Chains A and B, each alone.
Chain A
Amino acid sequence: MSRIVFENVTKTFNRAGNRAGGDFVAIGGVSIDIAEKQFVAVIGPSGCGKTTLLRMAAGLEAPSSGRVTVAGRPVAGPGPDRAVVFQQFALFPWKTVRENIAFGLKCRGESAAARERAVQRYLTLMGLEGTADSYPHQLSGGMQQRVAIARSYAIDPAVLLMDEPFGALDAQTRTMMQEELVRLARTSPRTVLFITHSVDEAVYLADRVVVMGRNPGRVVAVVDIDAVRQREGWAARSIDDVMELPSFTHLRSGLWRMLREQLGGRSE
């Protein structure tokens, strides 16, 4: 079981020395229930607290009130049952690709042979053959993010928390990575919380899309994608194909409208 539940969660940041004075409410009462092996994407304008939400599930931030539980247990701190993929990759620059991927396994005390088996498996799975002895800075951004995803998958976490993982990549690499993630999600499904600012990405990847608003951060809508995806067999199609389907464009424009409302009158 690896259900993620946010129960009426709030997060207030103490801003001592802030000219405006007082505390900043990043999240004001959010409840989200992510079922086991479900892929949920969160979109919203910047400042809506979507990254804070992910950090609370990761245990890198504690809620000010409310409760975050993973697999029924309240989150008390970071742990290898909830792997995080960061936007800026966060690879260890002084470790080779092999050492980066094996890091979590080493922490767990796996034998060298077991680590090497996992490394080989994920090198192949992520199309990273031949890079095992390279250092991160010798790889392109797309390759680096593959290593980061491989590093997270290698510890076999029940939950994957992805914070705009493709945000720093160019459009072409991004598309490729999205297709690969869909493939991965199909072959080894996990409970995924995926933060993004791209509506297209959210619709293409997620079973459910949560739309957040800001001031304070809150959930304004939850849109189910899975039914349509299953019916039309998106997972078996290329991303370009899917994006031309009427059902896709319909979902996308619906989400855009909600997002635009959250951005206020600016786009009117």
Chain B
Amino acid sequence: MAAALTGGRKAAPSELALWSLAGAVVFLGSWQLVTASGLVSPRQLPGPLAVLGAAWTMTLQPYAGSTLQTHLFYSLQRYGFGFGLAVLVGVPLGLVMGRFRLVDDIVAPVFESLRFVAPLAWVPFAALWFGTGIGGPVMVIFTGALPPCVINAYRGAKLVEPRLIEAAQTLGASEFRIIREVLLPGALPSIVAGLRVSAGLGWQSLIGAELIVAAAGIGYAMTQAQLTIAPSIVIACMLAIGVIGYLIDIALRGAERAVRRRWGQA
């Protein structure tokens, strides 16, 4: 996108970084101007400096029982389990659906109708079935992260050259081996692209997941701040979620590039 903004010509990385920085400065500057001008009250929208101050204070003094980093630690833990589970279930399911028409026919209608239900809708059932400790939130994140894993593994499996599957069959490979050694590596570029989407959706589901949490977590802290009308804390939490999400995406983008290079597609 940054390249498009500079009119398509090749720009040096340092130049691109400069433009990115300019974007952030303009955004934060206008935000600060609007709040400093007195057009909106700080109770409606605190300025960026107030938010950063609140975030800084939160790293030192516990808010809602924990410091910012402890909240994030609990959130990342739930997220790790939820996302990991979605990958472990979704990728094999997608590959098997891509390999066997019958499984596809059986699973597709249920999967297709359930995947449009927002993760938030599962919150009451998640609490009811798996409790408000780690189980419930993990389930909500799982429902958010699952569909891209399944869909991309399925599409990736469908795009594997039929010749390669036939070659494996004529060499005596079992179905399990075909899925593990032909479909999985063949679909990997598509799967990794799906993981990126999945990771994002899973992280977005976090707030919903932590609505039911009674102890710690960034979503929990945010809910508490909303209840006590502490807007700068709410925005500080939003900021933390945004930054962590961005970092997760950068990491997976790196993984995606590595797979493409290794598979000779880049």
Which residues of A pack against B, CB within 8 Å?
A: 58-60, 77-80, 82-84, 86, 88, 90-95, 103-104, 107-108, 135, 137, 151-152, 155
Contacts and interface: CB of A to CB of B under 8 A. Distances in A.
A78 B166 contact: yes
Given A92-B182, A93-B263, A137-B264, A108 B172 contact: yes
Given A79-B170, A84-B166, 9 more contacts: A60-B169, A79-B172, A80-B170, A86-B167, A90-B164, A107-B172, A107-B173, A107-B174, A155-B171
Interface string B157-182: 00001011011111111100100011
B171 A103 contact: yes
13 contacts: A78-B166, A80-B170, A86-B163, A90-B163, A91-B167, A92-B185, A94-B185, A103-B181, A104-B172, A107-B171, A107-B172, A107-B173, A108-B172
B163 A83 contact: no
A60 B169 CA distance: 9
B173 A82 contact: no
Q: Which 10 A-B pairs have the closest CB atoms?
A: A80-B172, A104-B171, A78-B169, A90-B167, A94-B185, A107-B172, A90-B163, A84-B170, A78-B170, A107-B173
A84 B263 CA distance: 25
B185 A83 contact: no
Contacts of A137: 264
Interface in B132-172: 161, 163-164, 166-172
A84 B185 contact: no
A155 B163 contact: no
Interface string B172-203: 11100100011001101000000000000000
A80 B172 CA distance: 5
Contacts of B166: 58, 60, 78, 84, 86, 90
A103 B170 contact: no
A78 to B, nearest CB: 4
Contacts of B264: 93, 135, 137
The interface centre, meaning the residue of A83, A90, A155 with most chain B CB atoms within 10 A of its CB, is A90
Nearest to B168: A103
A69 B45 CA distance: 80
Contact of A60 (B170, B172, B182): B170
Given A90-B161, A94-B185, A135-B264, A84 B174 contact: no
